Amino acid sequence: MAIITLTSDMGLRDHYVAVVKGAIISQLPEARIVDISHGIMPFDNAQAAFVLRNAYPAFPRGTVHLIGVNPEVSADTPHLVVRHDGHYFIGADNGIFWLLFDGKPQEAFELTMKLDTDNLTFPTRDVFVPAACHIARGGTPDVIGRKTVTIREQIGFRP
Protein backbone atom coordinates (compact mmCIF):
# COMPACT_ATOMS: atom_id res chain seq x y z
CA MET A 1 0.00 0.00 0.00
CA ALA A 2 1.25 3.47 -0.93
CA ILE A 3 1.99 5.79 1.99
CA ILE A 4 2.03 9.56 1.49
CA THR A 5 2.84 11.81 4.44
CA LEU A 6 1.94 15.49 4.69
CA THR A 7 3.95 18.20 6.41
CA SER A 8 2.76 21.76 5.93
CA ASP A 9 2.40 25.25 7.32
CA MET A 10 -1.30 25.35 6.32
CA GLY A 11 -2.79 24.83 9.76
CA LEU A 12 -6.11 23.08 10.29
CA ARG A 13 -8.55 26.00 10.52
CA ASP A 14 -9.63 26.02 6.89
CA HIS A 15 -10.04 23.77 3.86
CA TYR A 16 -6.50 23.54 2.46
CA VAL A 17 -5.38 20.26 4.04
CA ALA A 18 -8.70 18.64 3.11
CA VAL A 19 -8.27 19.81 -0.50
CA VAL A 20 -4.80 18.21 -0.67
CA LYS A 21 -6.08 14.95 0.82
CA GLY A 22 -9.06 14.95 -1.55
CA ALA A 23 -6.73 15.42 -4.52
CA ILE A 24 -4.59 12.49 -3.38
CA ILE A 25 -7.60 10.23 -2.88
CA SER A 26 -9.01 11.25 -6.28
CA GLN A 27 -5.76 10.28 -8.01
CA LEU A 28 -4.77 7.31 -5.84
CA PRO A 29 -7.76 5.96 -3.87
CA GLU A 30 -5.72 3.23 -2.17
CA ALA A 31 -3.18 5.68 -0.71
CA ARG A 32 -2.69 5.76 3.03
CA ILE A 33 -2.32 9.44 3.99
CA VAL A 34 -0.50 10.27 7.23
CA ASP A 35 -0.35 13.77 8.71
CA ILE A 36 3.05 14.49 10.20
CA SER A 37 2.26 18.12 11.05
CA HIS A 38 0.25 21.05 9.74
CA GLY A 39 1.31 23.28 12.63
CA ILE A 40 4.61 24.40 11.15
CA MET A 41 5.03 28.16 11.51
CA PRO A 42 4.49 29.86 8.12
CA PHE A 43 7.57 29.65 5.88
CA ASP A 44 9.68 28.10 8.68
CA ASN A 45 11.97 25.70 6.81
CA ALA A 46 14.04 24.96 9.92
CA GLN A 47 11.01 23.84 11.95
CA ALA A 48 9.66 21.77 9.06
CA ALA A 49 13.04 20.11 8.51
CA PHE A 50 13.38 19.34 12.23
CA VAL A 51 9.90 17.78 12.43
CA LEU A 52 10.26 15.77 9.23
CA ARG A 53 13.83 14.65 9.99
CA ASN A 54 12.61 13.16 13.26
CA ALA A 55 9.48 11.58 11.76
CA TYR A 56 10.44 10.10 8.40
CA PRO A 57 12.72 7.29 9.70
CA ALA A 58 9.67 5.73 11.40
CA PHE A 59 8.10 5.07 7.98
CA PRO A 60 8.96 2.22 5.63
CA ARG A 61 11.24 2.75 2.65
CA GLY A 62 9.30 3.88 -0.40
CA THR A 63 7.16 6.31 1.58
CA VAL A 64 6.49 9.60 -0.21
CA HIS A 65 6.77 12.71 1.97
CA LEU A 66 4.95 15.77 0.60
CA ILE A 67 6.30 19.05 2.01
CA GLY A 68 3.84 21.95 1.74
CA VAL A 69 5.94 24.63 3.44
CA ASN A 70 6.62 27.76 1.38
CA PRO A 71 5.83 25.83 -1.84
CA GLU A 72 5.76 28.67 -4.37
CA VAL A 73 7.84 28.16 -7.50
CA SER A 74 10.09 30.80 -9.04
CA ALA A 75 13.06 30.93 -11.38
CA ASP A 76 15.42 30.23 -8.47
CA THR A 77 13.06 28.00 -6.45
CA PRO A 78 12.14 24.95 -8.55
CA HIS A 79 10.03 22.07 -7.31
CA LEU A 80 11.95 18.86 -6.60
CA VAL A 81 11.55 15.16 -6.01
CA VAL A 82 14.37 14.02 -3.73
CA ARG A 83 15.33 10.42 -3.05
CA HIS A 84 17.17 9.86 0.25
CA ASP A 85 17.52 6.79 2.48
CA GLY A 86 14.95 4.92 0.37
CA HIS A 87 12.33 7.64 0.89
CA TYR A 88 10.97 10.25 -1.52
CA PHE A 89 10.47 13.91 -0.61
CA ILE A 90 8.54 16.39 -2.75
CA GLY A 91 8.66 20.13 -2.20
CA ALA A 92 10.11 23.46 -3.25
CA ASP A 93 13.87 23.88 -3.33
CA ASN A 94 13.69 26.73 -0.81
CA GLY A 95 16.47 25.45 1.46
CA ILE A 96 14.45 22.81 3.27
CA PHE A 97 16.21 19.84 1.67
CA TRP A 98 19.62 21.15 2.73
CA LEU A 99 18.36 21.50 6.31
CA LEU A 100 16.57 18.15 6.26
CA PHE A 101 19.64 16.17 5.22
CA ASP A 102 22.46 18.37 6.61
CA GLY A 103 23.67 18.94 3.08
CA LYS A 104 22.91 17.45 -0.29
CA PRO A 105 20.44 14.57 -0.51
CA GLN A 106 21.43 11.38 -2.31
CA GLU A 107 19.50 12.19 -5.51
CA ALA A 108 17.32 15.08 -6.70
CA PHE A 109 15.11 15.71 -9.72
CA GLU A 110 13.66 19.04 -10.81
CA LEU A 111 9.99 18.51 -11.67
CA THR A 112 9.32 19.01 -15.37
CA MET A 113 6.10 17.02 -15.78
CA LYS A 114 3.25 18.33 -17.87
CA LEU A 115 0.20 19.19 -15.80
CA ASP A 116 -3.44 19.06 -16.83
CA THR A 117 -4.08 22.60 -15.73
CA ASP A 118 -2.75 26.04 -16.52
CA ASN A 119 -4.07 27.27 -13.16
CA LEU A 120 -1.29 26.51 -10.68
CA THR A 121 -2.42 28.68 -7.79
CA PHE A 122 -1.99 25.94 -5.16
CA PRO A 123 1.34 24.16 -5.83
CA THR A 124 0.89 21.61 -3.05
CA ARG A 125 -2.28 20.35 -4.75
CA ASP A 126 -1.51 21.17 -8.38
CA VAL A 127 2.14 20.01 -8.59
CA PHE A 128 3.14 18.01 -5.51
CA VAL A 129 0.08 15.73 -5.40
CA PRO A 130 0.42 14.47 -9.02
CA ALA A 131 4.15 13.92 -8.44
CA ALA A 132 3.53 12.11 -5.13
CA CYS A 133 0.88 9.87 -6.68
CA HIS A 134 3.19 9.03 -9.60
CA ILE A 135 5.97 7.98 -7.21
CA ALA A 136 3.56 6.16 -4.85
CA ARG A 137 2.28 4.10 -7.83
CA GLY A 138 5.84 2.90 -8.39
CA GLY A 139 6.77 5.51 -11.01
CA THR A 140 10.31 6.81 -11.16
CA PRO A 141 11.41 10.42 -10.64
CA ASP A 142 13.21 10.57 -13.99
CA VAL A 143 9.84 10.29 -15.79
CA ILE A 144 8.51 13.48 -14.16
CA GLY A 145 11.75 15.40 -13.72
CA ARG A 146 15.35 15.84 -14.75
CA LYS A 147 18.24 15.02 -12.49
CA THR A 148 19.87 17.99 -10.80
CA VAL A 149 22.87 18.40 -8.53
CA THR A 150 22.01 21.96 -7.55
CA ILE A 151 20.23 22.21 -4.20
CA ARG A 152 19.64 25.53 -2.45
CA GLU A 153 21.76 25.77 0.66
CA GLN A 154 20.32 27.07 3.91
CA ILE A 155 22.32 27.19 7.09
CA GLY A 156 20.36 26.11 10.13
CA PHE A 157 20.67 27.20 13.73
CA ARG A 158 23.63 25.59 15.47
CA PRO A 159 23.81 25.84 19.27
For the chain, list the domains and their CATH numbers. Answer: 3-148 (3.40.50.10790)
Sign, Cα dihedral of 96, 47, 20, 122: negative
Chain-centre distance for alpha carbon 88: 8
Average pLDDT over residues 1-29: 96
| Nearest residue to 23 via CA among 4, 42, 37 | 4
pLDDT digits (tens, 9 = 90+) for 16-72: 999 999 999 999 999 999 999 999 999 999 999 999 999 999 999 999 999 999 888
Q: Looking at the predicted structure, is the pLDDT value of residue 133 above 50?
A: yes
pTM for the whole structure: 0.93
Q: For residue 1, with 0-12 CB atoms within 10 Å meaning exposed, 13-18 middle and 19 or more buried, which class applies?
A: exposed
Please state the length of the chain.
Answer: 159
Alpha-carbon span 66 to 5, nearest angstrom: 6
pLDDT digits (tens, 9 = 90+) for 135-157: 999 999 999 999 998 887 777 66
